[in-house]
Structure 1
Amino acid sequence: MRQNPSFVLGDPDELKRLVRENPWVTMVSHTADGLVASHYPVILDESRDGVVLLSHVGRPDEQLHELGRHELLVIVQGPHGYISPGWYDANPAVPTWNFVVAHLYGVPQLLGDDENLEVLAALVDHFEERMPQPRRMNGTIENADYAARIAAGTVGFRLEVTRVVAKEKMSQNKPAETVERIIGELEGSGPYASAALAGEMRRVRERRAR
């Protein structure tokens, strides 16, 4: 991804927020057989400094990706959407696409069986927390026993991010009144309305105004 100084997302806390709010990621490896891509959920290892991801793959994806042998690219994509030139107070004008995305690189560390089970439990807990009656992986003896049996079909890993290319393109290069107009359109009821993208634009604007 080409970087643009006007749109750099370099704040580690914001990167972590992006991961927390958008945990379904794309993993890309450049292997001996060519490019391989897979899609899995990730969570942050909150006990460690920096941006550190925890996840797992189902066998034999660890072989397809050659996990642990080279760098893995993890793509995290946040809110995005079409921005019509009709929303600008300018003529001529061209459309664009606003988005926030991070390319996170690192060499995965494969986990042993016990730690893999811990990561699987943490993943389940993370997503079940919002449920009115969470079904935790270790919530009952039966669930724990079942999870321990099927865990052999997965490979857990920890990825310490060593390289980041991240971009938040939220019309920062436009006048304030244009940005407000775009946000209003996104919060409306039109065909390209997106409350999530509008919220992200407001967050970026407020953060950059500090």
Structure 2
Amino acid sequence: MYTPAHFAASPDSISHLLTRPAAANLVTKTSQGLLATLLPFAYDPSIGEHGALLAHVARNNTQWSEPAIGESLMIVQGADAYISPSWYASKAEHGRVVPTWNYSTVHVYGRLVIHDDPAWVAGQVRRLTGVHEAGFDHPWSVDDAPERYISGQLRGIVGIELLITRIEAKTKLSQNRPDADIDGVVAGLSARGESDSAADVERARPERS
């Protein structure tokens, strides 16, 4: 990944992107070519040397049964947004500004492990459900559904575990702009209702010496 020094993601930024409720594109190289699937995932830093991303796919999705060649990749995206140069204080000063796109992304590489095991898959589904239901006033639980129904659903999916070997990450969030421009970006995104992107820009604001 091309990552200028001022857009390099901090450990805290990487942790934020991996631990928040999200989905990632799983990309594998196989004898049939490149395959990709968008999957909700849960991150477990205690597995292996560098942690693991846990997910599941539909049994009818052939990506799990096609052996991966070499490393597999999961691409995690944070909030992204168009940035108008009209938000920059610099526009009024000298006009030498252009539009850009802000984004955060983590490329997680690793060894893909398949778990065609109902007990493992049930645990992963409970973990993933817990991640996504945590913010609800009345969280849904797997136990809220009939056991027979859940057993049938579990037979239709297969577990995915990406044992992480390396991570590349980038947070392109206006860190290269003066503080007055960053203020304008935060205000512009907030006014447009893109609060997640505005919060990411504020979180990434550089500390000035």
Secondary structure of the residue aligned to 1:104 is: strand
1:187 maps to a residue whose letter is S
User: What residue identity is the alignment partner of 1:87?
Assistant: W
Partner of 1:27: 26
Q: How far is the alpha carbon of 1:56 from its aligned partner?
A: 0.6
Tell me which residue corresponds to 1:121: 126
> 1:177 is matched with which residue: 174, 177, 180?
180
2: CA distance between counterparts of 1:59 and 1:116?
12
- For 1:152, the aligned partner's letter is R
Correspondent of 1:95 among 95, 99, 116: 99
Contact 1:53 1:159 in 2 (8 A): yes
State yes or no: 1:138 paired with 2:139. Answer: no
Q: Does 1:80 align with 2:76?
A: no
Q: What residue ranges of structure 2 are gaps of 5+ in the alignment?
A: none
Alignment partners' CA distance in 1, 2:46 and 2:58: 25
Provide the rounded CA distance (Å) in 1 between the counterparts of 2:163 and 2:64: 20
CA shift at 1:22, angstroms?
A: 4.5
The one of 109, 112, 116 equivalent to 1:108 is 112
- Of the three residues 160, 164, 167, the one matched with 2:167 is 164
- Residue 133 of structure 1: how far off its partner (Å): 2.7
**Number of positions where the alignment pairs a residue of Structure 1 with one of Structure 2:** 203
Alignment map for 1:7-22 (pairs within 5 Å): 7-11=7-11, 13-22=12-21
Q: Distance in 2 between matches of 1:5 and 1:118?
A: 39
Q: Structure 1 residues 58 and 105, CA, compared in 2 at 3 Å: closer, same or farther?
A: same
Cα 1:128–1:44 change in 2 (3 A) is same
The 8 Å contact of residues 67 and 110 in structure 1, kept in 2 or not, is answered as: no
Please state whether the residue corresponding to 2:142 is helix, strand or coil.
coil
Unaligned runs of at least 5 residues, structure 1:
none
1:69 Cα deviation from its structure 2 partner: 5.2
Give yes or no for contact 2:54–2:124 (8 Å, CA) kept in 1. yes
State the alpha-carbon separation in 1 of the partners of residues 43 and 141 from structure 2.
Answer: 18
Flag the 1:32–1:174 CA change in 2: closer, same or farther, 3 A.
same
Residue type of the alignment partner of 2:196: A
Contact 1:68 1:110 in 2 (8 A): no
Q: TM-score scaled to structure 1, two decimals? A: 0.85
Q: Is the 8 A contact 1:121 1:138 kept in 2?
A: no
Q: Please, what TM-score do these two structures have when normalized by structure 2?
A: 0.85
RMSD of equivalent CA atoms:
2.3
CA-CA distance at 1:47 after TM superposition: 4.0
Using the alignment, how far apart are the partners of 2:2 and 2:177 within structure 1? 20
Q: Deviations over 1:66-101 (max 9, x none)?
A: 255542211111111111122221412211111111
Give the drift of 1:58.
Answer: 0.8
Distance 2:85 2:42 in 1: 37
Assess, with a 3 A threshold, how the Cα gap between structure 1 residues 170 and 65 changes in structure 2: closer, same or farther: farther
The alpha carbon displacement at 1:46 in A equals: 5.0
1:46 & 1:148 partners in 2: Cα distance? Answer: 28
1:109 maps to a residue whose letter is V
Q: 1:69 touches 1:107 (CA, 8 Å); kept in 2? A: no
Moved over 6 A (4+): none
Identity of aligned residues (%): 30
